[in-house]
Structures are given as C-alpha cells and as structure tokens.
Amino acid sequence: MNEHEFQADATNRKLTTYQEARLQNTANLRQLVVDAAAIILQEEGPEAVTVRKVAHKMDCSTKIIYSLFANKEGLAQQLYLDGCKILSNEFEGASQTDDLQQYLMNLAEVYWEFGQRHASYYKLMFGGAFADFKPDEKSMKGTVTAMGRLLSVIVSAQEKGLIAGDSTAELIVGTIWSSLHGVIHLYMGGHLGSVAAAHAVYKQSVALLASSLFAPAAGAKQLKQE
C-alpha cells in the first residue's frame, strides 16, 4: 500500500471513541452471558438457569453477571426476547397459501412445533417457569411482534369478509392463542398422555377454532348470493 492509498484508507475509517468501544464491549459481553444462559436453558430447563450457574458456565464471578443484568429477572427478560425472535422466525417460515383458513391452521401447527422443539423457551415465556419474572413493556412488545403473522392473517380474513362479527382482530388472536396454549400447557403438565395423543387434541382444537371463525362468514356470503 503506497502513501496515497494509506491516507485514503485512514480517511475512510470510522473513528471509534473510547466510550463507543466500551459500550460495544459491554453489549458483546451481555450477549455472551445470554448465550451461556440459553445453553443452560435448553440443556437443563428454566429451573436450572441461575446467576451462579451462568457465572460458572462463563468462568467468571456472579458480580459480573449482576453488573450486566442487575438480577436474574433481567437475564430472564433477554431470554424471553430471544424466544420471541425464535417464534417470529418460525412463523415467518410457515407454509403460506391463499386459503387463509388453511394458513391459520399452518401457523397453529408452527406454534405447536415451537412448543415441542423449544419447550424450555416456551415454559419460560408462557409457562411461568420463572416465578419472579413478569414480562415488562419491552417483553410484551416482543410478544406482539412474534404474533404479528397470526394477527395479519386474521386482519386479511376480516377485510375479505371471511370472518363475520364485530370482534377485533386482537381479540380473536387472543382467543386463538389462549385455546392453543391451554392444550400445550395441559400436555406439559402431563394431563393429555403421550405427545401423539396431545397433538391429536391440539389439531382437533385448531380445526374447531378455524371452522367456527370462517364458517359463519361463508354461510352469510352464500345467503347473500341467493
């Protein structure tokens, strides 16, 4: 590199201040701690995630963890938000179709699979596994973002007249979500037998929900045409 090239390269570099470098280092360290906690979460379950155990995993003192997250609940919040991202990505990958009723059922199946593949995240987020952790406003926004795909399907169905009634899309999503969570939570509590038996109950619940939402609108359209 000649002198002219060296000067041009130096000019194009973005100056990083000490404060910015310090913030970047803190952010990186926080992410490493969250990653360590996530490994414990997935390998041993939510009840195993403690500041002491994370510190042991990181080979550092608990003081460092507390300096980054204040308490266990702060760490739980980051894991909660990570779970929201995973769920959102799962929904994004759901099989799409112009048949909105079928699309709704596809999304419901994705939610079931999330509960199976990421059971520890599910228990942390929706199962009350961290008794002292209550989702704050930031966490709730993450939940809304994760459920955005389901909300958009309901909104589209309403706009096309496929769902009758005056219920808001948010109320409908809440009703669907509560029903599906109920089945998953019962299964996790050992009340529905094997995974196959629980999945059958789940799919039946989804089918009944979908048909009850879409059937009245279809019937109304048919009467109107007659």
Q: Say what the pTM is.
A: 0.80
Residues 6+ apart with CB under 8 A from 151: 169, 170, 173
Of residues 7 and 13, more confidently modeled = 13
* Alpha carbon distance 150, 144 (integer Å): 10
Of residues 135 and 37, more confidently modeled = 37
Confidence at 183, pLDDT banded by 50, 70, 90: very high
User: Tell me: the pLDDT tens digits for 216-226?
Assistant: 554 444 334 43
Of residues 60 and 1, more confidently modeled = 60
Mean pLDDT over 140-166 rounds to: 90
User: Tell me: the pLDDT tens digits for 13-46?
Assistant: 565 664 655 566 778 888 888 889 889 988 888 8
Mean pLDDT over 68-74 rounds to: 84
Quick one: what percent of the chain has pLDDT higher than 70? Answer: 84
Of residues 194 and 131, more confidently modeled = 194
Query: What pLDDT sits at residue 2?
Result: 53
User: Tell me: the pLDDT tens digits for 86-104?
Assistant: 999 999 989 889 999 999 9
**Amino acid in the structure at residue 101:** Q
Structure tokens at 147: 């459920």
Mean pLDDT of the chain: 84
Three-class secondary structure assignment of the chain? CCHHHHHHHHHHCCCCCHHHHHHHHHHHHHHHHHHHHHHHHHHHCHHHCCHHHHHHHHCCCHHHHHHHHCCHHHHHHHHHHHHHHHHHHHHHCCCCCCCHHHHHHHHHHHHHHHHHHCHHHHHHHHCCCCCCCCCCHHHHHHHHHHCHHHHHHHHHHHHCCCCCCCCCHHHHHHHHHHHHHHHHHHHHCCCCCCHHHHHHHHHHHHHHHHHHHHHHHHHHHHHHHC
Structure tokens at 134: 């209550």
